[in-house]
Amino acid sequence: MKLLEIARLTKRFGGLVAVDQVDLSMERGETVGLIGPNGSGKTTLFNCVTGLYPSDGGQVLFRGEGLSGLSPHRVAQRGLARTFQLARIFKELTLYQNMISAQRHDRENFLRTPARGCSPGVSRRIESWLEFVGLTGLKDELAGEVSYGQQKLLEFAMVLLSDPELLLLDEPTSGVNPIMIDQIASLIRKLHDQGKTLFIIEHNMKVVSSLCERVFVLDYGKKIAEGTPAEVQQNSRVIEAYFGY
Amino acid sequence: MISFQLLLQSTVSGLLMGGIYALVAVGLSLIFGLMNIVNFAHGDYLMLAMYGTFWAYQLLHWDPLVTLPFVMILWFLAGAGTYRAFIRRILDAPMVAQMFSTFGLGLFLRYAAYFFWSADVRKVGDNLLSGILDIGNIFVTRAELVAFFGSLAATSLLFLFIKKTRIGKAIQATSQNREAAVEMGIYTDEVNAIGWGLGIMCVGVGGVLLATFYPIHVYSGWMFSLISYICVALGGFGSFWGVYLGGLIIGVIENVLGTVFVPTFKMVFVYATFVFVLIYRPRGLFGKF
Amino acid sequence: MDGIQKLRIRNVPAFFGFLGCLALYPWIFTDPFPRHVMIILFMYIILGQAWNILGGYSGQISIGNHIFFALGAYTSTMLLLKAGLPPWLGVIPGMIIASASAVFIGQICFDLRGHYFAIATLGLAEITAIVFVNWNFVNRAFGFQIPAMKPPNLYVQWTSKVPYYYIALILAAAVVAFVWKIDRSTLGIYLKAIKEDEERAKSLGIDSRRYKLLAFVLSAVMTALAGTFYAQYVLYIDPDSLLNLEFGLLIIILPMVGGMGTVLGPVLGAGVLIPLAEYTRSVFGGGGRGVHLLLYGLIILLIAVYEPRGLVGIYRRIKRRYTKTKTSE
């Protein structure tokens, strides 16, 4: 059974069809890319999968179970985590508190609210993920006061804390300097080596080529190609979509 | 069962009152459409216009219809002035801050009025519009009738202004997409100020018209704030005539259901309509979002 | 960037020390009026903190909290008058009814964004007021008068203000401590996350609806408790005094001016604005009933425009500037 199966997924906004009968799937452990020109529906697709938008047709199966109609928090509790194109973290909280907000939420008895923030097991995991992204020293700083690159790294650590089965990354390397890009790319590679399944929206073709085993291409909401990064870069339809000829 | 006569009478009275609600609501939605701010002080400007009419009558012996053009100009300036002084600073503030600022403004205006003029109810005395008409067994006061057609005229003029003039088109553009408007070279700051000016001018006109037949009291404005908000929610954001229609509908609901059932429960029906709309049709009847 | 961090009460001993001073107050001020002012102040601290949990921490601005105040007051009073139930016990059904109402209202209204929710709660409060005025069961506009009952300790009524003072003080302190606890706990973190970016919180798996309902219930329960206290303090309740708009507005004005989403905000807000009201009332005499609200309106407007984080925010700004000048020496 494939980890994620999307069949004929459709999303309309008024007269505009943002996602048009898209089919795609991926197996556990894969790192799959989603590319396409601006406005081709990639983020919208993510939003439909994670429940932020209700879809207008098709289905999404995760581990064989449907995700349609589920509220975003239920989707997250099933094991899907996602980052946003513009890193969304909680600026009014410290990095450590941000991590606490990201802990696994399905098993808790929410009436019990430990004073220090979480059980020892969870705090160990928080420390280790903060170390993974290199932010241990900043853990008591307010998230709003660190640099944007660091916020992006924080968002990474947050979505990893709950040990999700599938990670949806929306333009993980956008908006940061080249050194940071390499840092993030190597983080992603490490995650892949740890066996995580990753679905990545990206514009940076170098990153896509080096990280993704397979790539899907969207244009105006439709899937126009799929294959390895090399195959897709040669595909005439893809070239036409990006360059117009 | 109540008579058809009574039903008809209350519908007509409701419609006439609804015209005022509609005008006030249109002003509110103009401001909201432009900068996404709910003006909780809206009704208090109405109340001040009513008092203005009263004092002009009392001290200068001006008929309300004479006061009207003065109020229009002054209230336009007041609206633009309010924008320049306060609103412009909170355009990008969190929603809570925006809510509280107009809220505080309204509170200030209301209790300043209370301080100066106390809680006594005032009424404008005999004027050009006094008198009751009998139209096919339906009784309407001349004042109510003029108020209705006055608001209709005001709304229509405003509509034409928005649709046909350059400034009006700038207002439309800014309401739809502020950033795009800026990029197109529109001075959104000026547009916002004019929008506020027009919105408060509507309220001023409504206030003068109301003062001809409605009791004047420091709290009367607040109720209109709420009702105009409900009208906008009912009519739908982004739809000019939708909001106007919303006003008429609320006026009718309030008066008819209030007459048919218990009069003191009038507002309950209005609020119930509001909650109902919010839950089942948050876009409003004709809204665009 | 100005982060809203909990204004840490660095020393728990300092907190108790402060309480100790407050405990001495009735011995210094033996007239009923200063004691009354403090009692009302404590009550508004409770109401402000209750509102703060929902509005300041989770971001749902409600203008209808006074509904729960009335529910608490009416429930305990009616149980006292009709069934002889002492208010110590009667307060519990009041809190239960308040929480049930909060769940009901929350389920219907939480999907409404921002000002929609605020207006909806206001509308509900107004409807409740109209219903009460017309409902025989609660004695319509006449309300209830609580007659003298003995023994005073059982029926929570005393001729002296001193016992009321201490009860109010203890309740206020308990409420502040409770909010402090929430602020530092996981629940506090979740609520702040929900307030800042509800969608993001949900994407992380936080069931925002549930937590907001919890905040609402806590808010309702504390407000109802204050309602019962008030009923026993003034021994007369009617829809006009409990459900009027001014009161509903006051409940949110104080924490907002003090600083929403902080532990000390509601305390500062009440601490500054209530004495201000009393002072203007005594200076302006008869017309005074409006003046404090006039000032409040102005203060709110200025705070909202220039320092939305309230008095706590102003304090932090000053502290920052002071530490900056210190380090630049």
Domain residue extents for chain A: 1-79+165-179+193-245, 88-163
Q: Is C137 helix (H, G, I), strand (E, B) or coil?
A: helix
How far apart are the C-alpha atoms of C120 and C112, rounded to whole Å? 9
Report how far apart, in Å, the C-alpha atoms of A50 and of each of A35, A43, A80 are: 18, 11, 7
CB contact under 8 A, A73 and C184: no
Partners of C119 in beta bridges: none
Burial letters A189-214, b for 16+ CB under 10 A, else e: eebbeeebbbbbbbebeebbbebbeb
Output the six-digit token pair for B99: 């809510």
Question: Would residue C30 count as lying in a domain?
Answer: yes
- Compare CB distances from C130 to B94, B268, B275 and report the shortest one's residue: B268
Q: Note whether C86 and C155 are within 8 A (CB).
A: yes
Residues of B in contact with C127 (CB under 8 A): 267-268, 271-272
C53-67 per-position pLDDT tens digit? 999 898 889 989 999
CA B239 to chain centre: 15
In three-state form (DSSP H/G/I as H, E/B as E, the rest C), the secondary structure along chain B is CCCHHHHHHHHHHHHHHHHHHHHHHHHHHHHHHHHCCCCCCHHHHHHHHHHHHHHHHHHHCCCHHHHHHHHHHHHHHHHHHHHHHCHHHHCCCCHHHHHHHHHHHHHHHHHHHHHHHCCCCECCCCCCCCCEEEECCEEEEHHHHHHHHHHHHHHHHHHHHHHHCHHHHHHHHHHHCHHHHHHCCCCHHHHHHHHHHHHHHHHHHHHHHHHCCCCECCCHHHHHHHHHHHHHHHHCCCCHHHHHHHHHHHHHHHHHHHHHCCHHHHHHHHHHHHHHHHHHCCCCCCCCC
CB contact under 8 A, C287 and B115: yes
Is the bond preceding residue C151 a cis peptide, omega within 30 degrees? yes
Residue-level pLDDT at C283: 76
CB contact under 8 A, B114 and C290: yes
- B182 interfacial to chain C (CB closer than 8 Å): no
Question: Would residue C4 count as lying in a domain?
Answer: no
Q: Tokens 């309401």 — which residue?
A: B175
Average pLDDT over residues B120-134: 78
CB contact under 8 A, C204 and A106: no
Between CA B172 and CA B243, with CA B187 as vertex, the angle to 5 degrees is 25
pTM score of the predicted model: 0.88
Residues of A in contact with C206 (CB under 8 A): 73, 101, 105
Backbone angles phi, psi at C115, to 5 degrees: -70, -25
- C118 interfacial to chain B (CB closer than 8 Å): yes
Average pLDDT over residues B257-263: 80
Residue B289 has pLDDT above 60, yes or no: no
Q: Count of CB contacts below 8 A, B vs C?
A: 122
Q: Dihedral, CA atoms, C165, C170, C172, C178, nearest 10 degrees?
A: 180
Q: How many CA atoms lie within 13 A of A7 on its CB side?
A: 10
What confidence category does residue B271 fall into, taking pLDDT thresholds of 50, 70 and 90? confident
- Compare CB distances from A114 to C186, C192, C203 and report the shortest one's residue: C186
| Burial bucket for residue C147 (CB in 10 Å: 0-12, 13-18, 19+) | exposed
- C105 interfacial to chain B (CB closer than 8 Å): no
CB contact under 8 A, C207 and A104: no
Q: Note whether A84 and A26 are within 8 A (CB).
A: no
Q: Is A70 helix (H, G, I), strand (E, B) or coil?
A: coil
What confidence category does residue C5 fall into, taking pLDDT thresholds of 50, 70 and 90? very low
C169-226 per-position pLDDT tens digit? 999 999 999 999 888 888 899 999 999 999 999 999 999 999 999 999 999 999 999 9
CB contact under 8 A, B104 and C249: no
Alpha-carbon gap: C102 to the closest alpha carbon of chain A (Å)? 17
- Compare CB distances from A101 to C3, C182, C193 and report the shortest one's residue: C193
Residue-level pLDDT at B274: 84
CATH code: domain of residue C86: 1.10.3470
Say which residue, A14 or B19, is predicted with more confidence: B19
Alpha-carbon gap: C21 to the closest alpha carbon of chain A (Å)? 28
Average pLDDT over residues B228-252: 87
Alpha-carbon gap: C89 to the closest alpha carbon of chain A (Å)? 25
Backbone angles phi, psi at A194, to 5 degrees: -80, 0
Residue-level pLDDT at C25: 86
What confidence category does residue B272 fall into, taking pLDDT thresholds of 50, 70 and 90? confident
Partners of A4 in beta bridges: A26, A62
B152-199 per-position pLDDT tens digit? 999 999 999 988 888 888 888 888 887 788 878 788 888 999 999 999
Q: Greatest CA span in chain A, whole angstroms?
A: 61
In one-letter notation, the amino acid at residue C37 is: V
Nearest in space to A229 (alpha carbons), one of A245, A205, A209: A209
Q: Note whether B194 and B168 are within 8 A (CB).
A: no
Q: Dihedral, CA atoms, B248, B254, B258, B259, nearest 10 degrees?
A: -10
- Compare CB distances from C308 to B94, B226, B275 and report the shortest one's residue: B94
Q: What percent of chain C has pLDDT over 90?
A: 51
Return the CA Rg of chain B. Answer: 19
Output the six-digit token pair for C229: 């206290």
- Which of A213-217, A238-242, B28-32 shows the lowest mean pLDDT across its residues? A238-242
Q: How many CA atoms lie within 13 A of B265 on its CB side?
A: 14
Burial letters B80-93, b for 16+ CB under 10 A, else e: bebbeebbeebeeb
Q: Which chains have 3+ CB pairs within 8 A of C?
A: A, B
Structural domain span for residue C62: 12-327
Residue A99 has pLDDT above 80, yes or no: yes
CATH numeric code, A1-79+165-179+193-245: 3.40.50.300
Q: Which chains have 3+ CB pairs within 8 A of B?
A: C
> Which uninterrupted H or E stretch holds C173?
helix C162-184
Extract the runs of DSSP E, i.e. beta strands, from chain A.
4-13, 16-26, 31-35, 57-62, 65-66, 80-82, 166-170, 197-201, 214-219, 222-227
Alpha-carbon gap: C175 to the closest alpha carbon of chain B (Å)? 24
Q: Is C237 helix (H, G, I), strand (E, B) or coil?
A: strand
Whether the CA torsion C124, C128, C129, C134 is positive or negative: it is: positive
At what angle are helices C114-134 and C245-258 packed, to 10 degrees?
150
Contacts of C32 (CB under 8 A, 6+ apart): C161
- The distance in angstroms from the start CA to the end CA of chain A is 39
Q: Note whether A31 and A226 are within 8 A (CB).
A: no
Q: Note whether A204 and A34 are within 8 A (CB).
A: no
- Which of A39-48, B166-175, C138-147 shows the lowest mean pLDDT across its residues? B166-175
- Compare CB distances from C301 to B101, B114, B272 and report the shortest one's residue: B101
User: Number of structural domains, chain C?
Assistant: 1
Alpha-carbon gap: B33 to the closest alpha carbon of chain C (Å)? 14
Residue of C nearest to B110 (CA): C294
Output the six-digit token pair for C172: 């206020």
Residue-level pLDDT at C329: 42
Alpha-carbon gap: A223 to the closest alpha carbon of chain C (Å)? 26
Q: Note whether C255 and C265 are within 8 A (CB).
A: yes
Question: Would residue C71 count as lying in a domain?
Answer: yes
Q: Tokens 């739908």 — which residue?
A: B236
Alpha-carbon gap: B127 to the closest alpha carbon of chain C (Å)? 31
Q: Tokens 């984080």 — which residue?
A: C309
- B95 interfacial to chain C (CB closer than 8 Å): yes
Residues of C in contact with A156 (CB under 8 A): none
- Which of A139-148, B69-78, C112-121 shows the lowest mean pLDDT across its residues? C112-121
Question: Would residue C2 count as lying in a domain?
Answer: no
What confidence category does residue A116 fall into, taking pLDDT thresholds of 50, 70 and 90? low
Partners of B141 in beta bridges: B132
Residue-level pLDDT at C4: 35
Report how far apart, in Å, the C-alpha atoms of C37 and of each of C20, C32, C278 are: 18, 9, 8
Residue B79 has pLDDT above 50, yes or no: yes
